[in-house]
């Protein structure tokens, strides 16, 4: 099977596909031949799609589910620097949520964006668990508190910190999931040294895209800490053998809107 499909009528033989290929496996075109990947190099293709994405004449198609090719309309995705700056600076960690759930279809739309996140050698190791039922979110919060109780008077770095959290929980205050209706878990293969970074990049894509869909997010550090080591919680979310949780995120419709941008520490840059 050919690795790339090239339309001879559209190809201008510009050579860009050969230049941008991260694996340098595309033989450039000449007057008599089109760009091609030799059979002996085909196994090196990481299916990143750079060749297709950067083809100015749209003559080249990566031979990976070509029937799903999505046209890129002129000007699509272009955002002014000013709009991008305000969009990202407005992003807040949301800890107060409306009770109405986020439709599954909308969550899938954001996750569909997140699957385009960068990953080492385009391995795309990240998979997702969405806890959509608020009742199950509460169970996970309870299990996180159970995990915290095992840390009291231990050598764990959080040992001195968790009693206050436990007391707040027992007093009726959800310090774990903040009443969020949903939880998102990114999980990855065990033993993959770069997958944890890939997962954080993918979660960040979800985090950044979510406000455009009226979804507020907050990185669920307590839950993430628990699920990484507490077997009852791992069983509750249904982690399969050979997979481990990289991190967790709570989300839902935000209860309050953002009306301002607070200050941050001054920018510190070292130029070399």
Set out the domains of the chain in order of their start, with CATH numbers.
4-68 (3.30.70.20), 87-252 (3.40.109.10)
pLDDT (0 to 100) of residue 130: 98
Calculate mean pLDDT across residues 127-154: 97
Calculate mean pLDDT across residues 57-81: 94
The DSSP secondary-structure symbol of 27 reads E
Would you say residue 156 has pLDDT above 90?
A: yes
Would you say residue 7 has pLDDT above 90?
A: yes
Listed residue (255, 271, 201) closest to 92, CA to CA: 255
Calculate mean pLDDT across residues 153-161: 94
Listed residue (92, 103, 15, 89) closest to 59, CA to CA: 15
Helix, strand, coil shares, percent, the chain, to 5: 35, 15, 50
Q: How far is the C-alpha of 224 from the C-alpha of 6, rounded, in Å? A: 46
How does residue 2 score in pLDDT terms, banded at 50, 70 and 90?
very high
pLDDT (0 to 100) of residue 31: 87
CB-based contacts of 156, cutoff 8 Å, min separation 6: none
Mean pLDDT score of the chain, rounded to an integer?
A: 96
pLDDT > 90 fraction of the chain, expressed in percent and rounded: 98
Calculate mean pLDDT across residues 141-160: 96
Calculate mean pLDDT across residues 174-186: 98
Q: How far is the C-alpha of 110 from the C-alpha of 113, rounded, in Å? A: 5
Would you say residue 101 has pLDDT above 90?
A: yes
Listed residue (251, 112, 247) closest to 187, CA to CA: 247
User: In degrees rounded to 5, what are phi and psi of residue 253?
Assistant: -70, 125
Tokens for 150?
A: 């095992």
pLDDT > 70 fraction of the chain, expressed in percent and rounded: 100
pLDDT tens-digit map of 196-232: 999 999 999 999 999 999 999 999 999 999 999 999 9
CB-based contacts of 204, cutoff 8 Å, min separation 6: 117
* Residue appearing with tokens 């774990």: 176
The DSSP secondary-structure symbol of 160 reads T
Question: What's the pTM?
Answer: 0.94
């Amino acid at each position: 099977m050919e690795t790339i499909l090239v339309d001879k009528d559209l190809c201008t033989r510009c050579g860009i596909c050969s230049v941008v290929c991260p694996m340098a496996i595309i033989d450039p075109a000449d007057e008599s031949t089109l760009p091609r990947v030799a059979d002996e190099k085909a196994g090196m293709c990481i299916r990143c799609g750079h060749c297709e994405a950067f083809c100015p004449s749209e003559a080249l198609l990566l031979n990976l589910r070509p029937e799903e090719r999505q046209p890129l309309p002129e000007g699509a995705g272009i955002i002014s620097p000013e709009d991008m700056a305000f969009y990202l600076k407005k992003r807040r960690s949301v800890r107060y949520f409306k009770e109405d759930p986020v439709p599954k279809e909308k969550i899938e739309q954001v996750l569909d964006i997140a699957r385009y996140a960068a990953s080492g050698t385009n391995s795309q190791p990240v998979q997702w668990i969405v806890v959509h039922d608020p009742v199950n979110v509460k169970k996970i919060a309870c299990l996180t508190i159970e995990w915290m109780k095992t840390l009291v008077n231990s050598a764990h770095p959080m040992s001195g910190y968790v009693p206050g959290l436990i007391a707040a929980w027992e007093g009726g205050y959800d310090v774990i999931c903040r009443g969020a209706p949903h939880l998102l878990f990114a999980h990855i293969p065990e033993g993959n040294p770069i997958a944890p970074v890939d997962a954080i990049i993918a979660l960040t894509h979800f985090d950044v895209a979510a406000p455009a869909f009226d979804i507020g997010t907050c990185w669920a550090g307590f839950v993430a800490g628990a699920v990484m080591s507490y077997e009852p919680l791992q069983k509750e979310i249904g982690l399969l053998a050979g997979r481990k949780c990289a991190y967790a995120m709570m989300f839902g419709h935000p209860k309050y809107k953002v009306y301002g941008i607070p200050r941050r520490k001054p920018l510190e840059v070292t130029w070399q």
